[in-house]
Amino acid sequence: MTNLWLKVALALYSLGLLHAILTVVKRRERMFRVGLGSISLGIVFHLVALVEDGLAVRHFPVTGLAEAASLFGFVLAGAFLLVYWRYKDHSISVFIFPLVFVLTLTAAIEHGTYVWGPPLLRTAWLYLHVSLIILGYTAFFLTFASGVMYLIQEHELKSKKPHAFYYRLPPLEAIDDLAYKSLAIGFPFITLGIVTGALWASNVWGPRWPLDPKVALSFASWLIYLSLLFTRWSAGWRGRKAAYFAIAGFAVILVTWGTNSGMHSFVSP
């Protein structure tokens, strides 16, 4: 991976995160302009790093731990810009950019350390599968962040003396709208990601592919989000119940991402 441009992006993300935190703490909107500019410029350099990495390895860079983490961080940073453009609220940046920073830092540290399987197994199906999963994870992280913000905001509203953070968060209606839209966007991506992964795995590994722990956890998280989507549509679930489901679903996703066993084991390049 092209470490130079990735490190530049990491530095800019760090600056953006710092200004996002200061904006929320100090309640100074003008301060976030610097952070927003740093984040936007960081995305540009991150894209350069991804393109150069793809040209260097001659395939879409998603076949290893560092590559997947880098793409995840890039897509999540881009998703923040879309959310900010739609809702004009900067407070969600303090939830998103710690993860963007960690993912980008992981990509820089783990450069070239681990890849998924031998080159023979790296087909177009694998590239499509990982890319769809990352897009789904990005949307579901927004659902998770919305759930956390909703619970915080609801708690503050019910308290007689709300803390200062209450005034930094968007209204409950906007938070719930983001939660629903990110859920509706993420579910098709994660579904297609699981389907393409199953097709690829069945051709490569045969009938034993469902026994892989990462596959089982992926299905578990899919069922949680399916239940959440169904209850929002049919039972009109909103607010606290939906927030708890969103947090539980992303907790399973974190366990799934960190699982290193079976067909999804990382091996040295």
On the question of pLDDT at 117 being above 60, the answer is: no
On the question of pLDDT at 153 being above 80, the answer is: yes
pLDDT for 139 equals 96
Stretch 240-254: mean pLDDT, rounded? 90
Contact in structure between 224 and 245 (CB atoms under 8 Å) = yes
On the question of pLDDT at 149 being above 70, the answer is: yes
Q: d(Cα 187, Cα 239) in Å, to the nearest integer?
A: 19
Measured in degrees and rounded to the nearest 5, phi and psi for residue 116 equal -95, 105
- pTM for the model stands at 0.86
Pairwise pLDDT comparison (43 vs 60), residue with the higher score: 43
Instruction: Name the helix (H) or strand (E) containing 29.
Output: none
- What is the rounded (10 degree) CA torsion for 148, 94, 141, 145? 20
Q: What Cα–Cα distance (Å) separates residue 20 from each residue in 5, 36, 145, 166, 240?
A: 22, 8, 15, 16, 26
On the question of pLDDT at 263 being above 70, the answer is: no
Stretch 125-150: mean pLDDT, rounded? 91
Split at pLDDT 50, 70, 90, the class of 48 is very high
Contact in structure between 97 and 14 (CB atoms under 8 Å) = no
